[in-house]
Structure 1
Amino acid sequence: MCGRFMFEPDENPMIERIFDLAVSGGFKPKTGEVFPTDQTALIVPGPKQVQVVSMKWGFPGFKSGQTIINARSETVMQKSMFASAFQKNRCVYPTTGFFEWNNSKQKYRFNYQTEAEPLFIAGCFNYFDEVAQSVLLTTKPNESMIQIHDRMPLILAKNQINSWIYDDRFAKQFLSASMPQLTSVNVNSN
């Protein structure tokens, strides 16, 4: 499901650059552990190239006070809540790892084999009462994830960011892509 992730500018030069771009644009993305409804740094389409903004993580749900934070890659083009956002407003969540909980409520942090490499998570955004809000996409888990949870984020390589944001054909095909193998660490927190 991916209910939290890390955004640590002090831990990674690329994430620090993304943070600096957001701040220089007048945005204030949350750093450290990012929770649903937080303002998070996002890479979004710009007129000529991608740009960095911050945006609330989560769409308004069907009930008062409910927040939808994830969209399934398998159904994102069919679900009315997400289809337009996916078609018109794709974005990328820059992270330094994400968290997932197993059935025993054990918390695990997931990263690439080398923790220094950022994880880029595919997402989309839309406007609600003229305010942009985002969701990240999830997919079926691979071998590195399946023992912990039955979903995982849709993870992009750095060189796939522009294609995800600007290339409709690439984005549609990527919805069923195989995900990279990750490492996990039990952080012993509920």
Structure 2
Amino acid sequence: MCGRYLFDPTTGELATYYQEAAAKARKRQQVIAVNDVYPSDHVVTLGANRQQAIVSGVTKWGFTGFKKGHLMINARAETVETKKTFQAHFQQSRCVFPMSGFYEWNHDKQKFYFSRDTVLYVAGFYRMLQAGDQLETESIILTTEPNASVAPIHDRMPVLIDPQDVPAWINDLSFAQQMLQADMPSLHVAKG
């Protein structure tokens, strides 16, 4: 995934997720990105509370890297459990990025928009990091081999979770491990 997606806070479940997360963001003086979302933005993600119920939250998209100014925004599904930087966070702190759709660019730098008829739920995970005097929650998107919809445009795509499987992705490690190798659903493609 190239690193940009669309979050329209006025549509369907996204409106509800946004309203819930915005209340939390205001308390922390954060601004949630809407419409075109970029790495390092504060974004709406879904996670589990202590009772394992799914709730909206706010995370910063991207893990701070080892070098100054470096940001890791994606992790490969094929290696997430073998990379020390990601392994424990994937196993213990999974989340989902709800979105309207995502963008990819081909080799000719033409922009394409990928979506479905419903909200896209993109697999991810997060970590807590001390940022000055407060904790920052950083999140990362999992990518996989592209399906037939994406392959003509780009060599990676996000891991997509069916809406009914969001709780299992977040709360059940064995389910999440199986999803790392799952076939991805077909997507609508539009030149952007």
Distance in 1, Cα, partners of 2:23 & 2:127: 23
Provide the residue aligned with 1:40 in structure 2.
43
Deviations 1:88-146 (A, max 9, x none): 1000000000000101111111001x2xx100000000122232100000000010110
Q: Please give the alpha-carbon distance, in whole angstroms, between the structure 2 residues aligned to 1:62 and 1:69.
A: 13
Query: Does 22-31 or 95-104 show the bigger shift?
Result: 22-31
Contact 2:25 2:58 in 1 (8 A): no
**Residue aligning to 1:13:** 12
Contact 1:2–1:153 (CA<8 Å) still a contact in 2?
A: no
**Superposition RMSD on alpha carbons, in Å?**
1.1
- The gaps in structure 1 that reach 5 residues or longer are none
Cα distance between partner residues in 1 of 2:24 and 2:42: 14
State the SS of the aligned residue for 1:148. Answer: coil
Q: Distance in 1 between matches of 2:57 and 2:100?
A: 17
Aligned pair partner of 1:175 in 171, 176, 180: 180
Deviation at 1:34, TM superposition (A): 0.4
Distance of 1:145 and 1:25 partners within structure 2: 35
Residue 26 of structure 1: how far off its partner (Å):
4.1
Return 5+ residue gaps in structure 2 as ranges.
none
TM (norm. structure 2) is 0.92
Structure 1 counterpart of 2:190, which letter?
V
* Number of residues of Structure 1 aligned to a counterpart in Structure 2: 183
Of 52, 56, 67, 1:52 maps to 56
Q: Secondary structure at the match of 1:77?
A: coil
Q: Which residue of 159, 167, 172 corresponds with 1:162?
A: 167
- Percent identity of equivalent pairs: 38
Give the Cα–Cα distance (whole angstroms) in 2 for the partners of residues 41 and 67 of structure 1.
18
| Match for residue 83 of structure 1 among 80, 84, 87 | 87
Cα deviation 1:58-117 (Å, max 9, x = unaligned): 0011221010000000000100110011011000000000000101111111001x2xx1
Alignment map for 1:3-152 (pairs within 5 Å): 3-10=3-10, 12-27=11-26, 28-48=31-51, 49-112=53-116, 114=117, 117-129=118-130, 130-152=135-157
After superposing on structure 2, the runs of 4+ consecutive aligned residues of structure 1 that deviate more than 6 Å are: none
Query: Match for 1:86: what amino acid?
Result: F
**CA positional deviation for 1:24:** 3.1
